[in-house]
Structure 1
Amino acid sequence: MIVFRIGHKNYATSLTASGVNGRWAAAGRPVIYCAENIPLAFLENMVRRQGVGFNHDFKITCIEIPDDLLISKVDESELDPDWRDPYDYSHCQPVGNRWFDDLRMPVLKVPSAVMPESSNYVINTLHPDFKQIKLIAVTELVPDARIEDILKKYPGA
Structure 2
Amino acid sequence: MIAFRIGHKNYAGSLTASGVNGRWVSAGKPVIYCSENIPLAFMENMVRRQGVGFNHDFKIVFLEIPDDLLISTVEENKLDPDWRDPYDYSHCQPLGNKWFDDQRMPILRVPSAVMPECDNYILHTLHPEFKRIKLIAVTDLVPDERIEDILKKYH
Give the TM-score of the pair, scaled to structure 2: 0.95
Question: CA–CA distance in 2 between the matches of 1:84 and 1:55?
Answer: 28
Q: Does the C-alpha gap of structure 1 residues 10 and 151 become closer, same or farther in structure 2, counting only changes over 3 Å?
A: farther
1:6-27 Cα offsets, whole Å, 9 max, x none, are: 0111111110000000001100
Checking the alignment, whether the CA contact within 8 Å between 1:55 and 1:143 is kept in structure 2 is: no
Show the counterpart of 1:116. 116
- Aligned pairs for 1:69-88 (under 5 A) are 69-88=69-88
Question: CA–CA distance in 2 between the matches of 1:148 and 1:36?
Answer: 23
Show the counterpart of 1:9. 9
Deviation at 1:91, TM superposition (A): 0.2
Show the counterpart of 2:33. 33
Other structure's SS at 1:77 match: helix
Checking the alignment, whether the CA contact within 8 Å between 2:52 and 2:148 is kept in structure 1 is: no
Residue 67 (structure 2) pairs with residue 67 (structure 1): yes
RMSD: 1.3
Q: Percent identity?
A: 81
Question: CA–CA distance in 2 between the matches of 1:82 and 1:152?
Answer: 28
Letter aligned with residue 23 of structure 1: R
Deviation at 1:148, TM superposition (A): 3.0
Question: CA–CA distance in 2 between the matches of 1:76 and 1:154?
Answer: 29
Deviation at 1:41, TM superposition (A): 0.3
- Segments of structure 2 that go 5 or more residues without pairing to the other structure are none
Which shifted more, 34-43 or 53-62? 53-62
Question: CA–CA distance in 2 between the matches of 1:27 and 1:19?
Answer: 5
Q: Does the C-alpha gap of structure 1 residues 118 and 18 become closer, same or farther in structure 2, counting only changes over 3 Å?
A: same
Give the TM-score of the pair, scaled to structure 1: 0.94
- Aligned pairs for 1:143-154 (under 5 A) are 143-151=143-151
